[in-house]
Chains A and B, each alone.
Chain A
């Protein structure tokens, strides 16, 4: 098969952050290439460059043998590179009817001032037929199901006779039946010789469609799988990465049980499980996006109660209805995604550190003691190794890694019974990650610690025990000693489409 698109040595950086570091990629015509990568691997930047939203800093692209460097999304479209985005409503104008949506590109390129309705509908119907979309052309898109809206977006894309079709997580909001209809369409386009780049986390989709798999990690292509049968577990490993780290873990001696859960059910459809966290121990839960990690954290911290199950803390019933109640009982959580869930942008470092425990810094008449706050802020800056001028610096003047140290340190300033850290290494550089990991272990004595991560090597750096979560339930639990990386990868990548234990 000839390559429809070839990318060579592509680079892209945002300030000092190198997002793409020499990407080489071929997309053969008439084949489905699946692109896998964790959050922040650089997938979306790559797609944005391919479809003309952003320019590359360096490197070349060739489309059907000719140089290709789209300056605008429209230029990409006209050259034959078509993108269907993850959020479906980005691809359609919900207030217009189906026909207008399908003909939008032609309408907006001008030509006739007045539109002839009948002709418009006839042309639109032709386009719709190609994707098997059977809805009245005059129906507003707002009244269509998400799947039909997506078909409208795809149909509209296809009216450009694409050479390359990029689908970014297209099944994330579809039912199984709708997804099957989409797959059939993709197969049909493949047969017509379109080069398809399919971006997804869903292993079942990937198994169903992939002719070849590319994995991205930290801005480089970290794996390429073309031999049949495809090595799916290898692909997950390449995506999540596993460099043997030089972190030396001395397993802690587990203390008394601190937190116990029995029959915990995170979603209505998932299997209940039991869980026990002991003092001194750092337990890391590894799972992909959507595996139920987020619900587990929410249930333990009182953000959203579990669907069913009992929780006990130090032997007493524990059912927090909100974070305040969790904190009052000694359960702290550093939330994932610090930008929206943790950083108070108007506050300086000191105030960000003391936010959860302002009460402990206040004296008579609830007056906050600045001296007590400064003391804590200085101590935590020191312990966490935050690089800053003074505790009075605005939090936003810090680098991402240092902000994250403050957000984690915020919860380490006081004694916890159970400390939950949800994605504590998200968006930080390797040094900050090591610093934070070291602090987590150094202070673990006496409390139970639960860390939730996506990437296995982060788990290997801090865990006493590694627990895999998949489809809302815990599937394995092993001490962090002589870890069989491949086995964990297989468990992480498992999907409900596959029978238990079977790994391709």
Chain B
């Protein structure tokens, strides 16, 4: 291997981690207060929800699919959990269970549309996205849900977000420093480890990667391609709805929102993840790093008073660089060339 080839190889493998390290050093110097345990936890918390969504979409990317409905699933879960607790006055447990079921069901429908209905994945999940954005507004005629709101029929909703539910988004655990780590960060770490283990070690993850790489070959090797694809969309839907539950717990009310930004940030994290360690393919570890990368960037830039549009610009630039790393320099790219 020539020196140049070796350098490119190193750049592909560690380039992104180096970039992140460089960024951390830069912000530590440029933004006072950036380098503190609290600040680090904030970064984690700001990416907890998009990170969980990104891990879900990673599952669909692994089988060669795509899920555009995750943002809408998350905001639907946000509205649903609020509706269950505030309007129906049911418990937090019921609200969470219903949200996760809703997410799994949406994933199932997505999967069936794609596998049985032969609808291309982008179109099926795009349709689902619009459907959910509309559906979540129907019960309240487009109003946000909060305790004490007046319902369309004139009655006043008296239910409240239970303490337990709000804790999911707000409670913080002592870790060396009192009340340091929010629960949502713990959830992110657990979900990341679970998805990572699921994709890397058991048979199922292996076969899902095989489907994403060559579905025809996987089918002829006896892999139940359709089932795994549906399962991937159900994972995506369930994780997205879990993200929505955490969002509801943080906001403390059911906010009407399309979730487009959640979708875009989640997808960006998953795609940036392709470039981490030169994986060149969707992977849970990369997705988690990708989400952190975006989080660090936004935290640092906000601390330096950069306006929101420059943040979008930088986010886009990072994504483009990551995609170049993935497709121009790795095996995945050279194969297609």
Contact = CB atoms under 8 A, between A and B. Distances in A.
Q: Do A and B have CB atoms closer than 8 angstroms in the complex?
A: yes
Interface of A: 301, 303, 322-324, 326-328, 333, 335, 340-347, 351, 355-356, 358-359, 361-362, 365-368, 394, 396, 410
Contacts of B210: 344, 347, 351, 355
Given A341-B216, A346-B332, A394-B331, A355 B221 contact: yes
Interface stretch (B149-157, B187-195, B196-204): B196-204
Contacts of B218: 344, 355
A344 B201 contact: no
B213 interface: yes
A226 B165 CA distance: 88
Residue among A335, A344, A368, A394 with max Cβ neighbours from chain B (10 Å): A344
Contact of B217 (A322, A343, A358, A366): A343
B219 interface: yes
Nearest to A334: B220
Given A343-B214, A346-B331, A396-B331, 8 more contacts: A322-B224, A323-B222, A342-B217, A344-B209, A344-B218, A346-B280, A358-B207, A359-B203
20 contacts: A322-B219, A323-B222, A327-B221, A335-B220, A341-B216, A341-B220, A342-B214, A344-B213, A344-B217, A345-B335, A346-B209, A346-B280, A347-B210, A355-B210, A355-B218, A358-B203, A358-B207, A368-B206, A394-B331, A396-B331
Given A345-B214, A346-B212, A346-B281, A326 B222 contact: yes
A353 to B, nearest CB: 11
B281 to A, nearest CB: 6
A366 B214 contact: no
B209 to A, nearest CB: 7
Interface in B130-149: none
Nearest to A359: B203
Interface size range on B against A: 20 to 34
Contacts of B202: 362, 365-368
Given A346-B281, A346-B332, A396-B331, A351 B206 contact: yes
A341 B210 CA distance: 12
Most buried by B among A341, A347, A358: A358
Nearest to A337: B216
A347 B209 contact: yes
Contacts of A355: 207, 210, 217-218, 221, 223
A323 B281 CA distance: 27
B149 to A, nearest CB: 46
For the complex of A and B, list the 3 residue pairs with the smallest distance between their C-beta atoms, beginning with the closest: A346-B213, A366-B202, A327-B222
Contact of B213 (A347, A356, A365, A410): A347
Given A341-B216, A394-B331, A323 B204 contact: no
